[in-house]
Amino acid sequence: MPKFNKHIFICTNERDKKSPRGDCGRCGGLEIRTSFSKLINQNGLKGIVRSNKSGCLDACELGPVVVIYPDNIWYTGVKVDDVEEIFKSSILRNDVVERLVADKETWNRLEMIRKKP
């Protein structure tokens, strides 16, 4: 039996500023995590839903990246302003925010970015 009903992983990884891959830590990962934690507390879901800082989730170029389990929902390009919408949709309603959810096109785009010399 899982300890939490929902587990939100927010990439807060930081790497060298010169890295062409970028990172989620410097584009808002920590603030996003803080916003999720506040919403969990405000909605009385502490101990039921958990938000965790995570290391690199291997989609750095499209970050910040947020993953929600057990639903296996991946969001890319998340902004702090998107957190409430994600929370209401994916945590409270078991739905997805279509405009942010990663799909086949998202992963194809990532592959193309990484193939560029």
Residues engaged in binding ligand FES (CB under 6 A): 11, 13, 23-24, 56-60, 63, 65
Write down the least CB distance from residue 7 to ligand FES, Å: 17
The dihedral of CA 73, 79, 80, 81: what is its sign? negative
Q: Which residue has the tokens 């995570």?
A: 54
Write down the least CB distance from residue 78 to ligand FES, Å: 11
Structure tokens at 30: 């920590």
Residue closer to ligand FES (CB basis): 40 or 62:
62
Residue closer to ligand FES (CB basis): 75 or 87:
75
Residue closer to ligand FES (CB basis): 45 or 110:
110
> Edge-to-edge, what's the strand order for the sheet holding 6-11?
49-54, 6-11, 66-69, 73-75
